[in-house]
Amino acid sequence: MIISDLTLLVIILIILILVSAYFSSSETAMMALNRYRLKHLAARKNRSAIQTQRLLEKPDRLISLILLGNNFVNILAAQITTVITLNYFGENSLLASTLILTAVLLIFAEVIPKTIAATRPEKIALPSSWVLNLLLKVFYPAIWLINQLANRIIKVLGVKNLTRTSDTLSTSEIRTVVEEAGSRISEKYRDMLLGILDLEKVTVEDIIIPRSEIFAVNLEDDWSNIVEQLKYCRYSRVPCYSGNINMIEGVLQMRKIRQFLLTNDEFALKDLKALLSEPYFVPSTTSLYIQLTNFQIKRQRIAFAVDEYGELDGLITLQSLISEILGSFTDSTGIHNRDVFPQEDGSFLVDGSANLREINKTFDFELPTDGPKTLNGLITEQMQDIPDVGTTFKLNGMTIEVVKTLQNAVKIAKLTKTDQKRSS
């Protein structure tokens, strides 16, 4: 065999290695594609994405095609290498040539192309889809035969249900996707998405205004006192009760009596009662997702949460529910002024009635929220008693010290992040 022929064989061998690298990279890129990104591109009429999506709908055919091509060129490359080495070095070089070709194929036709494809699957898979689709049509009979034989052998081995699993994600998986999105989604929108996902596991009880903090009007008070309360009321809707807060009579929309309060026209208790809308009661254990739907169906904006005995636990509004998703409509420092007071040493003085979920979200605490809903409830549960002033304990990376008690409850506690305390 003349030198020019050997040179030609070397060129063909290089081409075969490149083709093998193409099949290897295409396989990895196709399998590593983000399916949701692919669906998005296909929905926007990207022709390459549509072509790729069609190939992935039947992955057995795609894999058979790639493996058929890859094995064919690798075996052909091995045969050509054998011819080259026999002509150059004789029969004694067969083992060496086998080792060299294995190393070359492993590095240049497997490791390098697959690594690149795994990091840039979209750039490789989408253009490759046109070539693979053409090859699939040309070699369809061989691929069909291979698949039939493979499926029969698989059935003999007892493997059933070869249907590809769905691409649908569970709530926890979607949460992971959102959290791992990083800078691709702004922190504001990421918090909104996580807030929506939390609606199913967070209940009305977690975000209610406690009954002790509800602004409500006692209809059994003197009429002058009732009018005075309504004049200085800053709410658009006011619960009204008779004698005991558990005896809710209805909800008063302030716009209905605004004119009377401004002009001091004659207006009596019976007129006020006639304006009350029927109270809407919900179980405290209702999930926020269901409650949001119920607000929409019943066209309500305020609901009274009751426990299993029918006792009033608190009040929930549509605005507070939406705030769980969108964040507070008011100044983000509002919780500082109301419940939490940061100190110069890095600690926090917290009101015992502070909602655990709110302070966790605002200050990045990790206090448990699967039990009591307030800081006072958490401390008394941990102590199994009403603690004395000065009582200190550690919980979930926080040092909690009771600073003030009032009427068998913790009024103020000092919270210090344990890690921060160590560093100071």
Angle at 338 between CA 335 and CA 344, to 5 degrees: 75
Q: How many percent of the chain have pLDDT more than 90?
A: 29
**Domains assigned to the chain:** 3-156 (no CATH), 199-326 (3.10.580.10), 334-423 (3.30.465.10)
Token reading at 237? 């809707």
- Bridge-based pairing state of the strands 392-395 and 398-405: antiparallel
Which tens digit of pLDDT belongs to each residue from 202-245?
888 888 888 888 899 999 999 889 888 888 888 889 999 998 89
Three-class secondary structure of residue 347 per DSSP = coil
Q: What span, in angstroms and rounded, lies between the C-alpha atoms of 279 and 262?
A: 26
* pLDDT tens-digit readout, 233-255: 888 899 999 988 989 999 999 88
In DSSP notation, 283-334 reads ETT-BHHHHHHHHHHHT-SEEEEE-TTS-EEEEEEHHHHHHHHH--SS-TTH
Per-residue pLDDT tens digits for 267-290: 788 888 888 999 999 999 898 889
Residue 422's pLDDT is: 41
CA dihedral over 379, 383, 387, 393, signed as positive or negative: negative
CB of 116 within 8 A of CB of 28? no
Whether the Cβ atoms of residue 52 and residue 35 lie closer than 8 Å to each other: no
